[in-house]
Structures are given as C-alpha cells and as structure tokens.
Amino acid sequence: MSNLTAIHSKIPFDDTYILYDPNDLFSFICCYLSLLPVGILVFYFSWFIITREIEAVILAGGHVVNDIANNIIKNIIKETRPIDFGSFQKDSVRSGYGMPSAHSQFMGFFTMYIGLRIWCQWGGLNKSHKILASFGLLLASSGVVVSRVYLGYHTLKQVLVGVSIGALLGTCHFLASTIVRYIGLVDWFLSWRIVQWFLIKDSCFQAPFSLKDEYNAYLQRRQLSIKAKSD
C-alpha cells in the first residue's frame, strides 16, 4: 500500500509533459514546437560550456527573471486555461493558470533580445542576413505560440499577452545588459580570478566574429599548420 501511495504522490515534469491527439499529425508537430524553449535552454548551456561566453549566462539569467515574472503575473490574474488538464502543474512550483502563456512569454523575450542584438550590435552581418535571421526568429516564435493555442493549453489572448510581456522584458534586459557592459561591471566580473580560471569571456559583445570571420581564421591556422609540416 505504501508503494501505491508513493506512486500516486508523484507528478509529471510539466516542462516536457505535453498532451496531444495521436490521430492528428499537426497536434504531434505542435508537441515539438512547444518543446522549442527547452531546446533553447539546452543550447545556452552547451554554448557556455563550449565557448565560455558570458553572453549565454546573461541570456539564461534574463529568462529566469522572465519566468519568475510570468508566475507572479499568473498568480495575480488567476485566469484559467481553456481546457482542464487534470494534474497539469498542480501541486508544483508553477501556478497552473493560463494568463499569460509562459511559453509565449519565453519566445517573446528570446525573439526581442536576440533581434536587438542582431540589428544593434552584430556589425558582421549584412542587411539581408539580419532580415533572414529576424524572419527565422519570428517564425520560431509563431510556431510556439500557435502550438500552445492548438493544443488547448492557452487562449489566443493568453499567448498574445505572453508574447507582449516577454518582448517588453527582453527589451529591458537588452538595455540593462548593454548598460552594465558600458559602465564596466561585466569587465570587473570577468577580472575575478575564479572567473579567469574558467576562461570566461565576453567576445560576443566586445569582439564579435561572424561565421565567415571564424572560417577565415580557421583557414589561416590551417595554412600555417600545413606550412609548418612542410618545413
């Protein structure tokens, strides 16, 4: 009996727990679209581990603040979801309410922050590349927003409010992260011995390289390596 009680006391991990119609192909596709925010967070972690760029930490920290704000707003408004999903987000750290959509707010934050970085600070990209990247961001955000409505987790109003709040917070985070860099707080943090020991840097902001720049640098190193072997 104690084992049965232990099983019934368990709840699903809501960030990857998605209900869909197995007879509906688009419903199945929407499941993967809804998981895009999780994939983005995994990318941040991988990006930091591989490159030691502090930009990944700054972005992830902004998403944490964005998610906390989402939970606070949900508990203030207390608007229910269009469909009752039973134990979904019940007795967990999340509120279970639907207004605003956390997934949509995540994508609004991500799209606005990255979009501002692309247009205001990434000088290595030409205009056509910036337009293409912006279109990709909007397409990804739209996919997540549509999936949350189609799967019944949110109403159209809930996802639109979520995107709007996320975009606002993404803009604020972009401005804040730019200001703290210009006044030297990030450089001061990077000067800590333990931070230097982990080889953490801010080249993404101070000395950004495009893929073409990195590829050209690779070709130069390759030519030097070939020349050294021939000598």
In tens, the pLDDT along 68-95 reads 999 999 999 888 888 765 555 555 555 6
Structure tokens at 20: 């869909």
Confidence at residue 208, expressed as pLDDT on a 0 to 100 scale = 66
Residue 154: how many CB atoms within 10 A of its CB? Answer: 27
Distance CA 57, CA 46 (A): 11
Mean pLDDT computed over 207-221: 75
pTM confidence score: 0.84
Instruction: Give the separation between CA 172 and CA 40, rounded to whole angstroms.
Output: 20
Domain residues for the domain of 141 are 2-230
Count of domains observed in the chain: 1
More confident residue, 136 or 214: 136
